[in-house]
Structures are given as C-alpha cells and as structure tokens.
Structure 1
C-alpha cells in the first residue's frame, strides 16, 4: 500500500474494534490489512451475487480462501 493511497477515518463500536484487533493478530496482519481483506471479500461476494458463477469455476485454493475469509467476517460480526 502506497503512502499516496486515499485515507479515511471509520467510527466503529469498541467491541468490533477489539474483535478486529484479535482477528488481525491471529492472522498476523495489521488491522488495516485485515479490514482491506474483509472489504475485498465483501466486494467479491457481492459481485458474484450480481454475476453468478458456479462452484466449478473456483479452484480448491480459492474455495479454501473464501471459506477462511467468510469465517473471519462471521467472527467480526459475532456470529
């Protein structure tokens, strides 16, 4: 990530920030990197809702990555 990338502040409940901090540490990422990974996954999931693809289109590694990312999002949401 370059220094000239756009920046913005986000307000979030302290409980979510604590969960995010824990998940980021577990994944050995910065909080910023964890947020970006979650947003990228959210975009991909929502794009797939608009442009359907079959599970056959995903490689085994992509499926595993998707499962991990979904698990992270569920932890962030407290599910």
Structure 2
C-alpha cells in the first residue's frame, strides 16, 4: 500500500478492535494490513489467491445475470438462455 491510497476512518466496537490487534500480532502484520487483508478476503471467491477487482466484477456480473434470468423464468416463464439441444 502506498501513502497515496485513500484513508478511511471508521468506528468499531472495542472488542472487535482488540481481536484485530491480536490477529495482526499473530500474523506479524500492521493493524492496517490485517484489516485490508480481511476485507479483501471477504470479496475474494478464491481464498488464498490475491484479490482481483476485474475477476470480482466479472463474477458479480455473471451472478446478476443468473439472478435476473431466474426471476424472469419464475415470473414470465421466459429464459434468456439458449434452448438445450438433445
């Protein structure tokens, strides 16, 4: 992370902050690195691999398309998916 990255000030329960501080000590990371790592992990569909915003956007788009298609099928009996050929 660079100093030019935006800063965000948040409030959190004291107990959560204590847990984060303990986790950051265990992982030998700064508190900031610990929080960023955990936030990135919450968006990462493949734990253990680095967060990839482009991959996240593609996955989000795919999920939204499937959701819209499911709603259309249930409400209108119409699907945007091509018919399966036997």
Interval of TM-score (by shorter of Structure 1 and Structure 2): 0.5 to 0.7
- TM-score, normalized by length of structure 1? 0.56
Structure number with bigger Rg: 2
Residues of 1 paired with 2:61 and 2:42: CA distance? Answer: 13
> Could you say if the C-alpha distance between residues 26 and 44 of structure 1 is closer, same or farther in structure 2, counting changes exceeding 3 Å?
same
**Greater fraction helix:** 1
List per-residue Cα deviations over 1:30-65 (Å, max 9, x = no partner). 01000111011101139568769xxxxxxxxxxxxx
Could you tell me which runs of 5 or more consecutive residues in structure 1 were left unpaired when the two chains were aligned.
Answer: 53-79
Instruction: Quote the RMSD (CA, aligned, Å).
Output: 2.4
Q: CA deviation at 1:3?
A: 1.1
Residues of 2 paired with 1:3 and 1:49: CA distance? Answer: 29
Q: Which has the higher contact order (CA 8 A, sep 6+)?
A: 1
Aligned length: 52
Could you tell me which runs of 5 or more consecutive residues in structure 2 were left unpaired when the two chains were aligned.
Answer: 47-55, 64-86
Residue equivalent to 1:31: 31
List per-residue Cα deviations over 1:1-50 (Å, max 9, x = no partner). 11111001010000000000000000000010001110111011395687
